[in-house]
Structure 1
Amino acid sequence: MAYQALYRVWRPQKFSDMVGQEIITKTLKNAIITGQTSHAYLFTGPRGTGKTSAAKIFAKALNCLNLQDGEPCNECINCQAINNGSLNDVIEIDAASNNGVEEIRDIRDKVKYAPTQAPFKVYIIDEVHMLSTGAFNALLKTLEEPPTQVVFILATTEPHKIPLTIISRTQRFDFRRIGTTGSITRMEYILEQKGYQYEAPALKVIANAAEGGMRDALSILDQTLSFGDDQVTLANALLVTGAVKQSLLNEYVTAVLAEDVPTSLQVLESILQEGKDAHRFIEDLISYIRDLLLANQAPDMVTVTPDEVFVTLSKQVTPDYAYNVINVLNDVQQQLRFTTHPDVYLEVLTVKLASLNLQTDTLVVPASTKTKPQVDKPNISTAVAAKIEQPSDEAAITANKQHVSAAKTADSQPLVAPPIEAARNIPISSGPIAPVAKNTLTGKVAFDGQSVFDILHVATKAALRAIEDNYADLLNMLSVVEMAKLNQAKPVAASPNGIVLAFNQPYIHRLAQQDETLQNNILQNLNRLTGETPMVVLITDDQWNQLRNSYVNQYKEKIAFTDMTVPQLSELAVETQPPVDKPVSMAVEIPSEPVKIDEPELITQAKALFGDIVTIENN
């Protein structure tokens, strides 16, 4: 006889042979024993969980001549005929290829005839959700009131596609995924019966790869036996399933916990060079982190082999850290579904994981930001804090702690009365008026602190909102690789002529700083979206905090903008960046000293510009 696949040879022939469906098998057996069988059943569940097998066993039990405690004997004429597929009273129909109205009408016409050989005529309709609407309507009346000796068994993996009128006329049984333990036990039994040698960890790998399907598990086992000359070893199982070796996962997680980005990327590269699938790598890594989490909480639930490296890592990983890592992995897993460059996402993921701090369970913050001054303390002007933390588009006229509040004007454009030339330096518009020539900051990408100061000096909330609204469109206009890089940055400040983008990963910032194509595409796409080409400053989060806090402190001390000192950027900046105090390319024209106007004159000029809408507030 020709060779048959394991899942066909070892298909369950009795209810007791089924794995992981104890509740369903017990219910069906009791119904047969007590004679309380229904006229229609609906078996639903994932593939390979035993729906069709249970339907055939139930058909045998209904027609068995030597029933034994609800189980078919598999020896009588009817049982053997059903096993051979020669019993005319048990009809198995594939709805995927017989889904028309005519096929169902044929069933409706034949169902009224009595069984010829067995006590019951059983119709098993597999993948019933594939029937057309007309076919379901044709089946409805027959399904509701079939002849006494007829039983319908409908099987499907997608019950939501079946009309509710059909479901309500059946007894529904939901088959669940088979657990890892059940799959391993069944495979051990089969291998022992066949006399094959096997390694227990290999069966665990196969069971995990099957994802709860017994048929899939036996198919993978069959492949492994063929690959390993009738031996099931861990190495062969890993190769057949494409799973990542535990030793590589040990190396990867060890490097990530040590915040060693180069080593982490090297291990990732070796994993990908072995041909491992990116989705499978993420799944294995999630399972590995889950085992590290459970190693101290519930050791019996750990699925990997707890070697020395694993035990050491489990003592280092805190629950909060494991939660954060799993959340990050889950996000990347969703993103991988829509990309053709999974390697890039895995590299970005590796850099991000290596930046998770074990102690704080948050992204690592360099030391320079841990002692940064708080800009929301009471001793700092509210107007100043609002201007820097979230650039405001509300006018703030400050003189001896008195503020003039004016109505907002369109797009934060300065409103200047032509006769009053000195008013150009008074911040009384809906956005701060800066002594900067229009469009002098446009059309380039910068990386220096002076550029950030120039943007902060004229920043408005409206400008920041505008770039935030267009940022998603900007990302979508880039290539996949460029999108992966810029996705690690966000707008933190903006003016009518400039934008500041802060990267949460210094490594990604370094790549963006060296990628001239990305920089040009950013400028071109911003022009398409907004009609303008603003200057774009690329910095890291650490550098942004450093520059912002310096600007706040100097503003609080009432230091003129032209006299402000720009701090040196942190060492996270790329070494190739030209060290300059004030870039030559910055076309900023700032008067040496703004015009000083005492309080009464200030208020007088404000009223001249805005009229009766001006109100005086003393804060």
Structure 2
Amino acid sequence: MSYQALYRVWRPQRFDEIVGQQVITQTLKNALITDQTSHAYLFTGPRGTGKTSAAKIFAKAINCRYLKDGEPCNECATCKAITQGRLNDVIEIDAASNNGVEEIRDIRDKAKYAPTEADYKIYIIDEVHMLSTGAFNALLKTLEEPPANVVFILATTEPQKIPLTIISRTQRFDFRRISTKDSYDRMVYILQQKKITFDEKALMVIAKAAEGGMRDALSILDQTLSFGDNEITLKNALQVTGSVNHDLLNSYVQNVSDQEVTSALNTLEKVLAEGKDANRFIEDLINFCRNLLLYQQDPSLIVDQALGDVDDQFKSFAASLTAERIYQMIDHLNDTQQQMRFTTHPDVYMEVLTIKLAEPAKQNIQMPENENRQPKTATEGELDHLQEEIKKLTDQVKKLEGQSQAPAKEAKPNGAARGTTGKRKQAVKPNLTKIYPVLANATKQNLVQLKEIWPDLMAMLSVTQRALMHVAQPVAASEKGAVIAFNYAFLYEQAADDGDLRQLLSEDIDKLVGHDLKIAYVDAEQWPEIRTSYIQQHKDDLQNNEADSNEENAEGMPTDEDSPASQSEQDPVVTQAEALFGSEAVEIRND
């Protein structure tokens, strides 16, 4: 017989042989012992954690006539047939290649027939999240009420893609990542059974590289055996996994923590010269920093999780590096890892990363060591330069404040500064074709509603957009539009040219109020003139609307014509203005 991979030869055949999933295996065994099995199960979890193996063992156990303590005997004809894949009543389906409605309908039709040899017909659907929406709908009714003696076992690595209607009809078991120690112990057991000598540190490297997958660990172990001619050594394991030698890793961290950029770059060159994978090196560094943080909090944590791989230099790093410094290193490592995903020059990114890791430390670490040193004093030239810059900034702020507070009517073209302001205001032309339709249907209720959600709307914007909209506020609103006034003309110009901001505001308002609004911008200084102009232009329409309203509601009630309240009630223009913008925004003047 040809050679078989280790993960196939040493695939678990009993629940007790499944590594790192004791809670799940014990639950399934108890259900078998008490005869309380369900008609549908959902096994979720990362790759290589035992989902499919558990499904096959369960299929054997539920059909085994000689079940003992919830474990299949693996000796009867039924168990042997399921192990060898010869039993027709246990059907394995790959949903990745059989994800259509027709395949699921075929399963549904065949599930009606009783099992031919075993007591139960078992359907194991692997990668079930790959099924189409129609296929899930076809499976739904059968999964809820399957025929007698039929059990469905669904396995997936992405449960979030499965409809909740499917999940609610199954018993869900979440398989967790296998710990480094459990992977290490399993590999030791296999190598002892095969009577192969091994280096314990080599198995530690393989267990860490597997990242919680038992199948991955056995695949790497198989590759290392082939590379080293049935000999497991640390050098071979490092070569196969692409991991970095422990001494080189310590040297690199030492150079970075001592702010020795040149030495750190030389160490990096040695790492890359050995053919080590740059991404793997970043993973090792992140894991190293994580172990340092855990060791600082509780040394027993890292001793358990890193299999006791803690030397004197590691303890020295844990004592000398602060938690803030380690956080900074992890941030730089994560950023570089994201940037390297699509690059063809990882060595360049690694060199830049090395400089970033070393140079910031000069600023952040040297300060506590030199607390007693006198602060560096600035020269007279530097002070004069700083004072000049402060004066310029102060003048600019005063100029902007003067532009915002000066009334539009008082602006006169006397002086260069006022002339410049006048030109800027003349360049700002409001889009009345967008503003007037909003005013035609504007109501105070819509304006109040928009003002209430305005803080939430600002929170949904980016920092840059929020800074731009900080000096703006809604001044009129209808069911389909809104007018936003800006306190500064130059910010109004900037917002008017930003189509993305306008679109984003409409979408965010839609999320908050449930319908889209067309946004129109206006300069706050021009807004009173625009509002007055609109009311005067539509005075006849407003009076006709008010007259119709008065005919319907006329009761002959006496009023005090001299009072402001009575004037506002009798004047249809004032009444409509208050309805549009609110009484607090309307001022009545007898010109």
Pair in the same fold by TM > 0.5: yes
Aligned with residue 319 of structure 2, among 315, 319, 324: 315
Aligned with residue 393 of structure 1, among 370, 393, 396: 396
Could you tell me whether the CA contact under 8 Å between 1:252 and 1:267 is conserved in 2?
yes
| Equivalent-residue separation in structure 2 for 1:257 and 1:219 (angstroms) | 36
Q: Which amino acid aligns with 1:337?
A: R
Aligned with residue 355 of structure 1, among 353, 359, 364: 359
Deviation at 1:393, TM superposition (A): 3.3
Mapping for residues 284-295 of structure 1, pairs under 5 Å = 284-295=284-295
Could you tell me whether the CA contact under 8 Å between 1:197 and 1:231 is conserved in 2?
yes
Mapping for residues 208-247 of structure 1, pairs under 5 Å = 208-247=208-247
| Equivalent-residue separation in structure 2 for 1:86 and 1:383 (angstroms) | 88
| Equivalent-residue separation in structure 2 for 1:405 and 1:36 (angstroms) | 77
> Does residue 1:34 correspond to 2:34, yes or no?
yes
Q: Residue 12 of structure 1 corresponds to which residue in structure 2?
A: 12
Mapping for residues 365-404 of structure 1, pairs under 5 Å = 370-371=375-376, 387=391, 393-395=396-398
| Equivalent-residue separation in structure 2 for 1:260 and 1:429 (angstroms) | 55
Could you tell me whether the CA contact under 8 Å between 2:259 and 2:362 is conserved in 1?
no
Q: Residue 537 of structure 1 corresponds to which residue in structure 2?
A: none
Could you tell me whether the CA contact under 8 Å between 2:413 and 2:419 is conserved in 1?
no
Secondary structure of residue in 2 paired with 1:42: strand
Deviation at 1:20, TM superposition (A): 0.8
Deviation digits for residues 249-295 of structure 1 (CA, Å, limit 9, x no counterpart): 11111111221111111111221222222211111011122333444
Secondary structure of residue in 1 paired with 2:173: strand
Distance 1:364 1:236, change over 3 A: farther
| Equivalent-residue separation in structure 2 for 1:366 and 1:342 (angstroms) | 37
Distance 1:407 1:15, change over 3 A: same
Q: Which amino acid aligns with 2:398?
A: A
Deviation at 1:297, TM superposition (A): 4.0
Secondary structure of residue in 2 paired with 1:407: helix
Q: Residue 88 of structure 1 corresponds to which residue in structure 2?
A: 88
Q: Residue 169 of structure 2 corresponds to which residue in structure 1?
A: 169
Q: Which amino acid aligns with 1:330?
A: N
Deviation digits for residues 338-395 of structure 1 (CA, Å, limit 9, x no counterpart): 4333222221221121123389458999999953569xxxx99x9978557x677323
Could you tell me whether the CA contact under 8 Å between 1:394 and 1:408 is conserved in 2?
no
Higher normalized contact order (CA 8 Å, seq sep 6+, divided by chain length): 1
Q: Which amino acid aligns with 1:143?
A: L
Deviation at 1:86, TM superposition (A): 1.0
Deviation at 1:234, TM superposition (A): 1.0
Q: Which amino acid aligns with 1:272?
A: L
Q: Residue 47 of structure 2 corresponds to which residue in structure 1?
A: 47
Mapping for residues 356-505 of structure 1, pairs under 5 Å = 356-357=360-361, 360-361=364-365, 370-371=375-376, 387=391, 393-395=396-398, 406-407=402-403
Q: Residue 270 of structure 1 corresponds to which residue in structure 2?
A: 270
| Equivalent-residue separation in structure 1 for 2:28 and 2:204 (angstroms) | 31
Write out the 4+ residue segments of structure 1 that deviate beyond 6 Å after TM superposition: 362-369, 382-385, 415-418, 427-430
TM-score by length of 2: 0.64
Deviation digits for residues 174-206 of structure 1 (CA, Å, limit 9, x no counterpart): 111111011001101001000011111111111
Deviation at 1:223, TM superposition (A): 0.5
Mapping for residues 576-587 of structure 1, pairs under 5 Å = none
Q: How many residues align?
A: 412
Deviation at 1:166, TM superposition (A): 1.2
Secondary structure of residue in 1 paired with 2:360: coil
Secondary structure of residue in 2 paired with 1:209: helix
| Equivalent-residue separation in structure 1 for 2:69 and 2:270 (angstroms) | 57
Distance 1:342 1:417, change over 3 A: farther
> Does residue 1:72 correspond to 2:75, yes or no?
no
Deviation digits for residues 95-139 of structure 1 (CA, Å, limit 9, x no counterpart): 112122221111111111111111111011111111122211111
Q: Residue 191 of structure 2 corresponds to which residue in structure 1?
A: 191
Q: Which amino acid aligns with 2:241?
A: T
Distance 1:361 1:149, change over 3 A: farther
Moved more, 234-243 or 246-255: 246-255
Q: Residue 335 of structure 1 corresponds to which residue in structure 2?
A: 339
Mapping for residues 560-579 of structure 1, pairs under 5 Å = none
Distance 1:405 1:60, change over 3 A: closer
Could you tell me whether the CA contact under 8 Å between 1:42 and 1:167 is conserved in 2?
yes
| Equivalent-residue separation in structure 1 for 2:367 and 2:209 (angstroms) | 33
Distance 1:65 1:345, change over 3 A: same
> Does residue 1:283 correspond to 2:283, yes or no?
yes
Q: Residue 160 of structure 2 corresponds to which residue in structure 1?
A: 160
| Equivalent-residue separation in structure 2 for 1:198 and 1:21 (angstroms) | 26
Q: Which runs of 5+ in 2 are unaligned?
A: 406-410, 422-462, 466-591
Mapping for residues 102-121 of structure 1, pairs under 5 Å = 102-121=102-121
| Equivalent-residue separation in structure 1 for 2:110 and 2:329 (angstroms) | 60
Distance 1:391 1:114, change over 3 A: farther
Secondary structure of residue in 1 paired with 2:43: strand
Q: Which amino acid aligns with 1:352?
A: K
| Equivalent-residue separation in structure 1 for 2:129 and 2:274 (angstroms) | 40
Deviation at 1:416, TM superposition (A): 12
Q: Residue 505 of structure 1 corresponds to which residue in structure 2?
A: none
Deviation digits for residues 27-51 of structure 1 (CA, Å, limit 9, x no counterpart): 1111111111111111111110111
Q: Which amino acid aligns with 1:16?
A: D
Distance 1:391 1:10, change over 3 A: farther
Alignment RMSD: 3.6
| Equivalent-residue separation in structure 1 for 2:59 and 2:361 (angstroms) | 60
Distance 1:275 1:91, change over 3 A: same
Distance 1:91 1:393, change over 3 A: same
Q: Which runs of 5+ in 1 are unaligned?
A: 397-403, 410-414, 431-467, 471-619
Secondary structure of residue in 1 paired with 2:359: coil
Could you tell me whether the CA contact under 8 Å between 1:40 and 1:169 is conserved in 2?
yes
| Equivalent-residue separation in structure 2 for 1:315 and 1:365 (angstroms) | 15
Deviation at 1:52, TM superposition (A): 0.4
Identity, in percent, stands at 62
Distance 1:123 1:383, change over 3 A: same
Q: Which amino acid aligns with 2:219?
A: S
Distance 1:233 1:363, change over 3 A: farther
Q: Residue 305 of structure 1 corresponds to which residue in structure 2?
A: 309
Aligned with residue 324 of structure 1, among 328, 333, 348: 328
